[in-house]
Amino acid sequence: MLQISKRGIEMPASPIRKLVPFAEAAKKKGTKVYHLNIGQPDIETPPAILDAVKHADIKVLEYSHSAGNESYRRKLVQYYAKNNIHITHNDIIITTGGSEAILFGFMACLDAGDEVIVPEPFYANYNGFAIQADVKVKPISSSIETGFALPPIADFEKAITPKTKAIIVCNPNNPTGYLYSAAEMETLKQIVMKHNLFLFADEAYREFCYDGNHTSAMHLQGAEQHVVLMDTISKRYSACGGRIGAFITKNKEVLDAAMKFAQARLSPPFYAQVLGEAAVDLPDNYFDTTKAEYKLRRDTIVKRLNNIPGVFCPNPGGAFYAMARLPIDDCDKFCQWLLEDFSHEGATVMLAPGTGFYSSKGLGKQEVRLAYVLNVDAINKAMDCLEVALEKYPGKNK
């Protein structure tokens, strides 16, 4: 028999997308589904950057440089400088989404069997890239009780083995929305310096911080050789479909290695580089409106959640996600039940089961992730559904 690969078997299906068939069935029945399950913002892509693509003067749609268009990389230097991140265009490789930046990081810095430590719950696709790179993801649990703050140093020390090569941290965090403080980032710096590890920093949501400033891993003085920034324009400019990200490091050896992976796939997509380049010229107040909108949504959803009996949702400091603990037996069952067996005034809500963001077995069973990517009115209606659903759900915890 013709066999697929073991890694093809082990590769996890997307925990966020596996409920899609149930959502489709619900819609076919005529039920309105409020999608809080996926980080696809509803915010309009700025027309000015869409126009830049429309007006691009292209005769031959050529390969870009494998590191991305030089004009875009030079422009990005300005963007990062505004964020107090000081780099040159030679420190940047433009990638196909943040996804490819993560894969390049795993490939360039870790070998088969090496370990990467990640605070749990974490962005589920790290698992997929780890399987591709044959790397082991070692979770350290953070807790909903502390709002998913950075686990204590002792937990890191316990998890570190001779195989440990890196720590990956998403700040502000997906799925928890937690915004790591300057002190926590400093702690991470101490750990990576002491144990000689790479620090992979996924900062896709840098702009979306509501109760404090963002500390980039690139701000950590003295850790320059350890830090790899994995970035993307997807959420920043509501441009997820463009598939443009960046792999940034001051470690030349790492950059040169990543560059060879970049050369193998020839170049990042051209069009969205044009879009990304134009985005750097958006007015400085561009993020103000978007941020204000997300903050309003966060305040709304967190308040509504905590007003439901038995529900607990810490207030997330950034990104556009909240993790909530629900009074239920099993989030996977509950999320499916919401789509299959429930509706309230012709509507239901789609959530991401918490278990998909944990790799330690048994964790997250009472948790769900809510992406507040809908407007306040829709969020309120979705919360109405959730409130009624939690009254009716047969697997409710007493």
Pairing relationship of beta strands 32-35 and 164-170 according to DSSP bridges: unpaired
Burial of 275 (0-12, 13-18, 19+ CB in 10 A): buried
Helix (H) or strand (E) holding 183: helix 182-195
Least Å from the CB of residue 67 to a copy of itself: 11
Check if the beta carbon of residue 249 is closer than 8 Å to that of residue 255: yes
- Residue number, 220 or 272, with CB nearest to a copy of itself: 272
- Residue number, 46 or 119, with CB nearest to a copy of itself: 46
- Residue number, 103 or 385, with CB nearest to a copy of itself: 103
- Residue number, 233 or 324, with CB nearest to a copy of itself: 233
Least Å from the CB of residue 198 to a copy of itself: 7
Least Å from the CB of residue 263 to a copy of itself: 4
- Residue number, 183 or 264, with CB nearest to a copy of itself: 264
Q: Which of 375, 376, 308 has its CA nearest to residue 42?
A: 375
Pull the structure tokens for residue 266: 């020839």
Least Å from the CB of residue 312 to a copy of itself: 30
Q: Which of 154, 122, 182 has its CA nearest to residue 363?
A: 122
Q: What amino acid is encoded at 359 in this protein?
A: S
Q: In what side-by-side order are the strands of the sheet with 321-325?
A: 321-325, 367-371, 352-353
335 Cβ contact partners less than 8 Å away, ≥ 6 residues apart: 19, 37, 350, 351, 352, 353, 368
- Residue number, 260 or 303, with CB nearest to a copy of itself: 260
Q: From CA 276, how far away is CA 273, in angstroms rounded?
A: 5
The stretches of 265-375 forming alpha helices (DSSP H) are 270-279, 286-307, 331-340
Q: What distance separates the 2 farthest-apart alpha carbons in the chain?
A: 66
Least Å from the CB of residue 131 to a copy of itself: 8
Least Å from the CB of residue 90 to a copy of itself: 14
Q: From CA 268, how far away is CA 172, in angstroms rounded?
A: 26
Least Å from the CB of residue 98 to a copy of itself: 9
Least Å from the CB of residue 244 to a copy of itself: 8
- Residue number, 325 or 369, with CB nearest to a copy of itself: 369
Least Å from the CB of residue 203 to a copy of itself: 17
- Residue number, 47 or 362, with CB nearest to a copy of itself: 47
Let me know how many helices (H) and strands (E) the chain has, helices first.
Answer: 13, 12
Pull the structure tokens for residue 23: 């959502």
- Residue number, 125 or 187, with CB nearest to a copy of itself: 125
Least Å from the CB of residue 310 to a copy of itself: 33
Least Å from the CB of residue 392 to a copy of itself: 32
Q: From CA 155, how far away is CA 152, in angstroms rounded?
A: 6
Check if the beta carbon of residue 132 is closer than 8 Å to that of residue 186: no
Helix (H) or strand (E) holding 32: strand 32-35
- Residue number, 6 or 398, with CB nearest to a copy of itself: 6
- Residue number, 18 or 291, with CB nearest to a copy of itself: 18
Residues 112-151: b if buried by 16+ CB within 10 A, e if exposed: eebbbbbbbbbbbbbbbbbbebebbbbbbebebeebbbbb
Pairing relationship of beta strands 321-325 and 245-249 according to DSSP bridges: unpaired
Q: From CA 336, how far away is CA 20, in angstroms rounded?
A: 10
